[in-house]
Structure 1
């Protein structure tokens, strides 16, 4: 297992340098910082701090590193950062409501064998932990969608100095549809790939359909996927709005 991780890491680093060249060091450093941020988040929760408070502190750091370490364009990164923070704030109450209705915190019945000889009295609110996991899992997709739309629209504007507001709206619609389609498909197939073994297990053990859709393990993955899709959609709307607003302001100055 260790050899596989080392091999994949080496391949990833080589490809990063081939594609990004001199920017690969910055991107790799950003990835390391985010891994460190997640480790700090887990450590602070383990120390007994409120998971939601820890999330409120660490999430903006993860977003900032993901965005500002991946692009040089100040206007694009600033728009993407504002958008990502706003989307996380919007998704936060939705995650709380979904968790309250779904009760998918903690461990599932399938985990009983592994936990049989272990104590579950560890003093952690797993409901709050589930909310943290939901939001941390979708931060990457939100940041990516925000910066992709902002960068694409900004590039289109820079290429056509005579562009009108109507033309920008048309370009915004086209680019938004493209990003939405690819990003949501990425989330869907990511969820499907990670849950394929679990779904196969349910099928081979003759689980009823009602048992499958109420499985805590599967529902948590599906909820994360749907929350991510909502986040991507909102991020595309807000990011496009900011770019269009800046475009109008620049046009009025001329």
Structure 2
């Protein structure tokens, strides 16, 4: 059933004319009463729709998100966009039965806009220690790390101590011979490839995969360095370093 004002007016007019056998537009008073009645019904429908929306964080307005945040213990962060806040509230509702599995920790970490990848370095709740490594395009302040630590820790096994580390960049340098017209495209392909390798401990890039990226641009080149696979060191993530062109 349509609940827009035009549809409501049409239904009221049809009901009136069917029950009375008279035309609604034959009397200005009747027209006015139909308009007022239809307007009141429309307002009621809008109110009901609004109340129903507030029952779901995905549809709730900002005032009701504050209520959901109180229920889920998900306060809004400083300068946090409403969509990011809404996403964390939804995740808190969906994850109320989670207890700190590896996949849960990754999901919780990725809820934040300033976290680009997450991996669990060690997850041994039986020993009371879990170490989570976060990757970010920016250096996270101590205050920001503390906030993340507190919020993620709320979901952990009782008695488990969560350690939070920020991954540090580990540059991968290249030495390549290639025509100048292909260099920017090669650099872009390598940068994207290396970025996509992160997200797990001991991320690696092999020489074969490096060749595959360059060959997606041109097959006329020589790769001088690196000469062997690159593995991310402890609590580090791989980033494109310096490309020396020959």
Q: Identify which of structures 1 and 2 has the higher relative contact order when contacts are C-alpha pairs closer than 8 Å and 6+ apart.
A: 1
- The TM-score, its normalising length taken from structure 1, stands at 0.24
TM-score (norm 2): 0.25
Q: Name the larger-Rg structure.
A: 2
